[in-house]
Chain A
Amino acid sequence: MSEQTLESGAHVAGSSGDALLVVDDVTLRFGGVVALNEVAFEIRRGEILGLIGPNGAGKTTCFNVMTGVYTPTSGEIRFDGDRVSGVKPHRINAMGIARTFQNIRLFPEMTAMENVMVGADARHKTSVMGTLFRLYRVKAKEHELPDNPLKRSLAKVFGISRHTLEERAGRQKSMEMLRFVGIADRAHELARNLPYGYQRRLEIARALATEPKLLCLDEPAAGFNPAEKADLMNLIRKIRDKGQTVLLIEHDMKLVMGVTDRLVVLEFGQKIAEGLPEEVARNPKVIAAYLGEPDDAAQA
């Protein structure tokens, strides 16, 4: 016990105690390969935390452990006080963690709108039977009644099924999300036909639709030009201002330095630094591992 206290005391020095997600000495082995070696850090409520490191440092692996794709060999992840390790992916989503992917993984044969609605559906309550038979009726409010006169009088007598109301609410919410990320103009096109920048932002909209407390973005700016990157930085700040916590994996140093509150640096599956962006940029270990020549670091 004393060992544990010492350890955690060491790495959470200066912690506000308001941790949303705690990565507690997580080790992950694939056979003989150690992908993550006793990685420990925390994400505080309401912050934008950057997770950086050279290629193959274990950033995406760390992500995958946090979203339940892999179960750690030892150590654990706690989200809002609950263990994440070993919980099924869709339950982790329900706990309040959503993510995007380094290589875009939309549902290509669905429209942008439908993609977001899959996310929104995660928060719906109607059961399988309720959807099939629509027996759970709710008394309809005036503005919820359909326009068609026959359907209108039926709805007045029998009420509206909860499925219909939730479906409508989900549609509205999804449209809001599309507007929020700025791609509402092509809501009804198939995801695979959307331009690259739209697809990236659609992934963010879909993740936001699940109403996460923590949004994890895996290299959201990959392939963006400077103007698009600036837009994305604004979007990430807007997400944080809505009260959501953001974890950002990113290669682009300018973007990371400009938008994050704190940084965690990984190298070869180990944490080598943690702190404010300016501190980390001055850390000689980080400069050696990641930023290359000191001149470059100063510029970043």
Chain B
Amino acid sequence: MDFNALFGDLGGHTLDGLTKGSVYALVALGYTMVYGVLRLINFAHSEVFMVGTWTVLGVYTVLGADDTSGMGMVIFATLAALVAAVVASASVALAVERIAYKPLRKKNAPPLIFLITAIGCSLVLVEIFGHVLRFFFGPPFGRAPVNVPSPIQTVVLLDVGGVRITNVQVFIVVGAILMMVALDQFVNKSRLGRGVRAVAQDADTAALMGVNQDRVIMLVFVLGGAMAGVAALLYTIAFDLTKFDIGFIIGIKAFTAAVLGGIGNLRGALVGGLLLGIVEVYASTVFNSSWADVTAFIVLVLVLMFKPTGLLGESLGKARA
């Protein structure tokens, strides 16, 4: 145990935790929104994120962007990757809903069937990238980790009493929080958001009041997918890699973050994600990095023991945290 390492650079570690947590939080939104409306844990969501990271890699490769690119190229490549990842992730999320879940809903399938289907979708998507695409196109597809070039060079922007804040950290944390605020405003203020909350609170009544339930369901999958796409870009900027099963551990962490904050609660996803990120970084500093996951789940167990509905309580309908 090395508390000196933690307190020696508490600010720096906290910043690292926030960076990691931002990605968790963005992915957690997808779990939380789908759960809020359908009471379904969409395990395929982790692969929606994975597809996003591959899309970012694809855009960089096509544009030829890497760490030697000029400023104009960096900005263009990042924006292009953002748009492409958002579109790709949202499309995959929507496709999973249309192809896998909607037919089940029409038949009034029991919840367990949805869960198994979700796991099945997840495996199919993983194997498409780990096997099928490799079969047709060869590397980089396959089971090995792939380096994603990072056009954005890490620069220290500020040095506050020894805590060095880099442009990448600012980009990720600010980007994630901006997306969260936008989504929160959308759900709380717009007509479609009202429809989402109405369906989350009482789906049958909402339908009788003229809310198109099917459209609301598509909307939450698309919005959740789009957030995962943003998360995918931010993740590749911070960690420079992707892999066919990269969604697995991130997905579990994001799901944990959603439960920690209160699943179904948008602001809970933010709180849960950031908290989880910080706890993980602290734990891997005090002990060593293999303790990161263990500590994350210990925190989850503790919170659920004393507050089973999560820190901010469940409910998408109740968007006032």
Contacts and interface: CB of A to CB of B under 8 A. Distances in A.
Interface in A59-87: 67-69
Given A109-B317, A117-B194, A90 B205 contact: no
Nearest to B203: A89
B191 A126 contact: yes
B201 A110 contact: yes
Interface string A115-131: 00111011110101001
Contact of B197 (A105, A106, A110, A132): A110
B191 to A, nearest CB: 5
B175 to A, nearest CB: 19
Contacts of B195: 118, 121
Contacts of B318: 109
B317 A128 contact: no
B219 interface: yes
B218 to A, nearest CB: 8
Contacts of B208: 67-69, 89-90, 92-93, 98-99
A93 B192 contact: no
Nearest to A114: B194
Name the residue in A93, A118, A167, A206 with the highest tally of chain B Cβ atoms < 10 Å from its Cβ.
Answer: A118
A12 to B, nearest CB: 28
Given A107-B202, A109-B315, A110-B317, A118 B211 contact: yes
A132 B215 CA distance: 14
A9 interface: no
A163 B201 CA distance: 24
Of A88, A106, A121, A132, most B-chain CB atoms within 10 Å: A121
Contact of B210 (A94, A110, A126, A163): A94
A108 interface: yes
Nearest to B318: A109
Contacts of A58: none
A101 B213 contact: no
Contacts of B210: 90, 93-94, 98, 119, 121-123, 210
A170 interface: yes
A207 interface: yes
Interface in B206-256: 206-213, 215, 219
A53 to B, nearest CB: 22
Interface in A129-171: 131-132, 163, 166-167, 170
6 contacts: A107-B205, A110-B201, A118-B194, A123-B210, A132-B192, A206-B209
Given A109-B317, A109-B318, 17 more contacts: A69-B204, A90-B207, A93-B207, A98-B209, A107-B317, A108-B201, A109-B315, A109-B320, A110-B198, A110-B317, A117-B191, A118-B195, A118-B206, A121-B195, A122-B210, A123-B210, A163-B190
Interface of B: 190-192, 194-195, 197-198, 201-202, 204-213, 215, 219, 315, 317-320
